[in-house]
Structure 1
Amino acid sequence: MSPSSPRRRLQGHRHGHFIGTYGLLTLTVMLFLVFSLVLPDTFPTQDNVSSILSNQSIPAILALGVTVPIASGNFDLSIGYGLGLAHVLVLYLIVDGGWPWPLACLAVVAGMALAGAVNGVIVEFARIDSLIATLGTGSMMYAVTGWITGGGRIVPGSDGLPAAFTGLYDSRFLGLPVPAYYVLGLVLVLWVVLERLPFGRYLYVIGSNPRAAEIIGIPTRRYCVYAFASSGTVVGFAGVLLAAQQQIGNPSVGLDYLLPAFVGALLGSTAIKPGRANALGTLVAVAVLAVGLAGIGQLGAQFWATPLFNGATLLIAVGLAGYSSRRQLRTDPAPAGGPPAAGPATTADGAP
């Protein structure tokens, strides 16, 4: 064998690692440059960038929320229904219930966190597949939404909504829309939780091999319930922002956000930390989708181009995620992102 063969293999491995880690980020930059060249008067402008950041903030928050249960090997299909319920419930409490808007927002976020925990209990203790369980609970959420609204819309009175409430979405800071800072803050929180705290490491081990997680002492059921509760909390926060944006309670609006959220989370598992769901990868994936959709929209694409783009990207994301996971298993025998292999006498807290 030629002495240069191991060197070529090492270079090829490094090249493949770079593409897997930063390829999606590179694609984002390339797309932005291409659309800037094609649409020089409208695309590379501050107004367009602000519009992209504002319009994609809620899909980004939902994608980050669904990333947490995906890390544990579960899927939360109730997020679209939960988003619709949360935003309708906020407006109902403020407009019809006369609640102060901060109390209404806190109550809705807490309620959605509880709903997420119920999802986790159904999945883990009733032993129902997460896809089926969350689809069922999501349908029940949709029924509650219809019951609250009576099938109609919730419209504020002549006085409108409190300016401080609508300012949650409409405000700007340093020239950029405030929702963009919510997204960055949530990315930072999830990065710390998933990458730097035991909670995240346990979720990755559970998602990689639940049986092994139980053997080394990780309480898998409890952490999966926590993952669903985290997802519900994020959905509740996204519902508050959607209510501040829409300012009208529409019982069916949440379903439009379901597919983009899963596309972002699954596509994000192929970037930054290929082979596992991660917050930074989800952010990059959402950026790719945002730039792509904004570009094709300004090129005059028909209305059906958006669902076509999202659907095709979802298929590509699932395929790439599976490939990244298989590649990670071939190159690293340890669970991706998990803690070092523990001996038989090691507990979940790392104590002997």
Structure 2
Amino acid sequence: MTPSPRPPLGRRFGHLVGAYGLLALTALLFLAFSLTLPDTFPTLDNISEVLSNQSIPAMLALGAMIPIVTAKFDLSIGYGLGLAHVMTMQLIANEAWPWPLTCLVVVLGGAVVGTFNGVVVEFAKIDSFIATLGTGSILYALTGWITNGARIVPGPHGLPAAFTDLYDSRFLGLPVPAFYVLALTAVLWLLLERLPLGRYLYVIGSNPRTADLVGIPTRRYVIYAFAGSGLIVGIAGVLLAAQQRIGNPSVGQDYLLPAFVGALLGSTAIKPGRANALGTLVAVVILAIGLAGIGQLGAQFWVTPLFNGATLLIAVGMAGYAARRQLRQRRTEPPRTHHDLPKVTS
């Protein structure tokens, strides 16, 4: 057999820029802020604070990414985070549940909510935007009912130290939540890039008709994607409770936009044109560096939502361009045979 010809130099260079350009921009941005703010920005204290503050947005971005792989969107994640956070505080502070049992119940509850979202989207045939916006509103109503619109404040003895240590602990001199994010990224990378589950989800997201033709049970795997997203939202809610130590019924909404910015911007890196775990991690890092840098430069409070909104628009545009570029490249490649498609076993 004759070996397939190597792609032209220009295409290889374009692929490298597309795959690793955001990573290079992250390094350049860190260098720029370090030179501008040499006394405060490149310090271990600042890096630790950024890692700690951005761990929950990073987890939520990774959770939002999973349904995006299947070309669906879960707009309920911010409301789900708020409910999980409030439920954790309610069960530990007001109901005196043991904190390990509380964490388990809340995380499994997040998975149940995600599964319900998937069922509504797939069986009721409601667009994921509308369906999850509706379920998110219901989750917000439940949060208000549980709290009666007021904050949940622990008693004089506070929360168990072992519970708050879930967020406050350090490992190798760095905040332990950063290692949670790394572990979650590794798990999602393995699931999406190395196991059949990931291949099925990507086929569903790129061409549902092809998925049906090769026998992939589309409904089941889309529900799996939403359930995985809900599970991660539950974990993030537990960590948010350990971080804030009070139950705030409206806190989750502030995390929705940054999560989608990270997930969509991440689809332009590492694997351009498709949502992926490593790209999402890179996107979250560059957002964290940008927000920390402009904050230390003395930016006004309104700069943060402006930064998030503008970055979201840029991310959507870049993701669309990367997807169109990938489609054009596929059209110039030889057609794939049935041997190239993922095999489905019962």
TM-score by length of 1: 0.94
Among the aligned pairs, what percent are the same residue? 72
Structure 2: give runs of 5+ residues left out of the alignment: none
* Counterpart code for 1:46: L
**Is 1:342–2:338 an aligned residue pair?**
yes
User: Displacement of 1:348 after TM fit?
Assistant: 2.1
Aligned ranges for residues 269-288 of structure 1 at < 5 Å?
Answer: 269-288=267-286
2:208 & 2:330 partners in 1: Cα distance? 18
Q: What is the root-mean-square deviation in Å for CA atoms of aligned residues?
A: 1.8
Give 1:126 deviation, angstroms: 0.3
Q: Distance in 1 between matches of 2:10 and 2:342?
A: 38
2:80 to 79, 82, 93: 82
Give 1:186's aligned residue: 184
Shift of 1:293: 0.5
Which residue identity lines up with residue 77 of structure 1 in the other structure?
L
CA drift of 1:313 comes to 0.4
**Structure 2 counterpart of 1:117, one-letter code:** T
- 1:216-255, aligned counterparts within 5 Å? 216-255=214-253
Superposition pairs of residues 189-208 of structure 1, within 5 angstroms: 189-208=187-206
Q: Counterpart of 1:199 in 2: which secondary structure?
A: helix
Shift of 1:332: 2.3
Q: Over residues 115-162 of structure 1, what are the superposed CA-to-partner deviations in whole Å (9 max), with x where a residue is unaligned?
A: 100000000000000000000000000000000001001000000000
| Aligned position for 2:264 | 266
Match of 1:106 among 95, 104, 107: 104
Q: For residues 233-273 of structure 1, what are the alpha-carbon distances to aligned partners after superposition, in whole Å with 9 as ceiling and x for unaligned?
A: 00000000000000000000000000000000000000000
- Check whether the contact 2:65–2:275 (CA below 8 A) recurs between aligned residues: yes
Contact preservation (8 Å) 1:216, 1:344: no
Are the structure 2 counterparts of residues 170 and 215 from structure 1 closer, same or farther at C-alpha, using a change threshold of 3 Å? Answer: same
Secondary structure (helix, strand or coil) at the match of 1:332 reads helix
Could you say if the C-alpha distance between residues 334 and 116 of structure 1 is closer, same or farther in structure 2, counting changes exceeding 3 Å? farther
CA positional deviation for 1:334: 10
- Aligned partners of 2:142, 2:17: CA distance in 1, in Å? 45
Task: Show the counterpart of 1:159.
Answer: 157
Structure 1 position 343, deviation (Å): 6.3
Is 1:170 aligned with 2:168? yes
CA distance in 1 between partners of 2:41 and 2:204 (Å): 43
Q: Which residue number corresponds to residue 3 of structure 1?
A: none
**Superposed CA offset, 1:185-242 (max 9, x none):** 0000000000000111000000001111001100000000000000000000000000
Show the counterpart of 2:141: 143
Structure 1 CA distance, aligned partners of 2:123 and 2:144? Answer: 29
TM-score normalized with structure 2 length: 0.95
Question: 2: distance between equivalents of 1:119 and 1:54?
Answer: 30
Q: Which residue of 2 aligns with 1:22?
A: 20
Deviation (angstroms), 1:15: 1.2
**Alignment correspondent of 2:63:** 65
**Contact 1:66-1:231 at 8 Å conserved across structures:** yes
Q: In 1, distance between residues paired with 2:15 and 2:21?
A: 9
Q: Does the C-alpha gap of structure 1 residues 168 and 334 become closer, same or farther in structure 2, counting only changes over 3 Å?
A: farther
Give the distance between the partners of 1:239 and 1:231, measured in 2 at CA.
12
2:289 aligned partner: 291
TM-aligned CA distance change 1:84 to 1:15, over 3 Å? same
Give 2:323's match in structure 1, choosing from 300, 322, 325: 325
Alpha-carbon distance change, 346 to 264 in structure 1, aligned in 2, over 3 angstroms: closer
Q: In 2, distance between residues paired with 1:334 and 1:273?
A: 19
Aligned to 1:308: 306
- For 1:326, the aligned partner's letter is R
The alignment covers a number of residue pairs equal to 340
Alpha-carbon distance between aligned partners in 1 of 2:170 and 2:63, rounded to the nearest angstrom: 23
Partner of residue 118 from structure 2, selected from 113, 117, 120? 120
Does the 8 Å contact 2:199/2:342 carry over to 1?
A: no
Give the counterpart letter for 2:17 in structure 1. Answer: I
- Residue 206 of structure 1 aligns with an amino acid whose one-letter code is I
Within 2, Cα distance between the matches of 1:341 and 1:205?
Answer: 15
Report the 3-state secondary structure (helix = DSSP H, G, I; strand = E; otherwise coil) of the residue aligned with 1:159.
coil
Over 3 Å counting, the alpha-carbon distance change for 1:190 and 1:341 in structure 2 is farther
| Structure 1 residue 330 displacement after superposition | 1.0
Q: Sort the Cα spacing of 1:162 and 1:346 in 2 relative to 1 into closer, same or farther, 3 A.
A: closer
Residue in 1 aligned with 2:30? 32
Q: For 1:34-59, what per-residue CA distance to the aligned partner results, in whole angstroms no more than 9, with x for missing partners?
A: 00000000001000100110000000
Deviation string 1:95-133 (CA, Å, 9 cap, x unpaired) is 111100000010000011001000000000000000000
Moved more, 325-334 or 155-164: 325-334
Distance 1:341 1:105, change over 3 A: farther
Secondary structure, aligned partner of 2:338: coil
- Alignment partners' CA distance in 1, 2:342 and 2:115: 28
Structure 1: give runs of 5+ residues left out of the alignment: 1-5
State the one-letter code of the partner of 1:113: A
| Residues 219 and 348 in structure 1, CA contact (< 8 A), matched pair in contact too | no
- Distance of aligned partners of 1:334 and 1:177 in 2 relative to their CA distance in 1, 3 Å threshold: farther
8 Å contact kept, 1:216–1:343: no
